[in-house]
Amino acid sequence: MTPPDPELALPCEVWWAQLSGDPALAGLLDDTERRRAGRLAHRSVRERFVTARALLRLRLAELAGTAPTALRLDTTCLRCGGDHGKPRFLGPGPDLHFSIAHAGGRIAVAVTRDFPVGVDIESVAGRQAHALTDLGASFLAPAELADYRELPPGARARALAVWWARKEAVLKATGAGLTLPMREVTVTAPGDPAALRSPREGGRRAMVALHDLTPRDGHVGCVAAVGVASLTVTEHDGDELLAGAAPGSGRTMPS
């Protein structure tokens, strides 16, 4: 594990894509992923999983200088050994880290080197957003709740989505996921630059850098990385990477 670097502005790529129904994308996945896709009964959930993993493999393969199907990924849970942990890149190639998020048909894949990353996106309209509003402010810590109560009612739904995305990005970067109560991770208010407020380690704030993203309208997003001072984020068009990249499409794959 790379030691924390209090000076480093970590480069982070975020690749955006829309869910694709192209069945050829499954050819970029490994057998484990294809089996998992086969178990997903709901078509849009299956297509979303395949699109995200295809996009991930395409970009990691470019960075690792190998073929998408040659990449080894692992989802072993470090807590219980089950097959539902934070997905990790095992090689070949450099020490790459990644995180995946979906909201409706929107997909984000974040990629960094050496330091763990987490990404989250949330809808600010539709069923997902209603679910967050239904949760109300139950996932906010007392200090956040004070900021929330000062907001005009019309700004609250979006603010909740921003809070949630910032917190979940942190939890995905650490790999804890929702096993850690959301209220235990406190972040800055939506109107302020994204940053962690707590937890604190040994009296000092844990070193986690946050950066708000600019997904297409109707969504908010955030990326977080552990062990660095800040992030230098570039956002990219993943639809372009996916277009024509499926096996048999004629595009040359990295080999």
Ligand X SMILES: CC(C)(COP(=O)(O)OP(=O)(O)OC[C@H]1O[C@@H](n2cnc3c(N)ncnc32)[C@H](O)[C@@H]1OP(=O)(O)O)[C@@H](O)C(=O)NCCC(=O)NCCS
**90, burial (CB in 10 Å: exposed 0-12, middle 13-18, buried 19+):** exposed
Residue pair 71/60 in contact (Cβ under 8 Å)? The answer is yes
Q: Are 67 and 253 in contact (CB under 8 A)?
A: yes
Is residue 120 at the binding interface for ligand X, with CB under 6 A as the rule? yes
Range in contact with ligand X (rule: CB under 6 A) among 8-16, 58-66, 174-182, 194-202: 174-182
The DSSP line for 81-149 is --S-S--EEEESSS-EEEEEEEETTEEEEEEEESS-EEEEEEESSHHHHHHHHHHTTTTS-HHHHHHHH
Contact between 144 and ligand X per CB under 6 A: no
Q: Does 34 bind ligand X (CB under 6 A)?
A: no
Question: Least distance in Å: CB of 175 to ligand X?
Answer: 4
Between 136 and 191, whose beta carbon lies closer to ligand X? 136
Does 41 bind ligand X (CB under 6 A)? Our answer is no
Of the candidates 57, 172, 211, 219, which one interacts with ligand X according to CB under 6 A? 172
Closest approach, Cβ 150 to ligand X, in A, equals: 27
Binding mask 81-100 for ligand X (x = CB under 6 A): -x-xxxx-----------xx
Rg (CA), the chain: 18
Nearer to ligand X, 50 or 228 (CB): 50
- Token pair 């970029």 is found at 28
Contact in structure between 86 and 175 (CB atoms under 8 Å) = yes
Is residue 82 within 8 Å of residue 67, measured between CB atoms? no
Q: Note whether 177 binds ligand X by CB under 6 A.
A: yes
String of contacts with ligand X for each residue 224-253, x by CB under 6 A: ------------------------------
Site for ligand X in 184-223 (CB under 6 A): none
Rounded Cα gap, residues 53 and 29, in angstroms = 7
Binding site for ligand X (CB under 6 A): 49, 52, 77, 79-80, 82, 84-87, 99-102, 118, 120, 168, 171-172, 175, 177-179
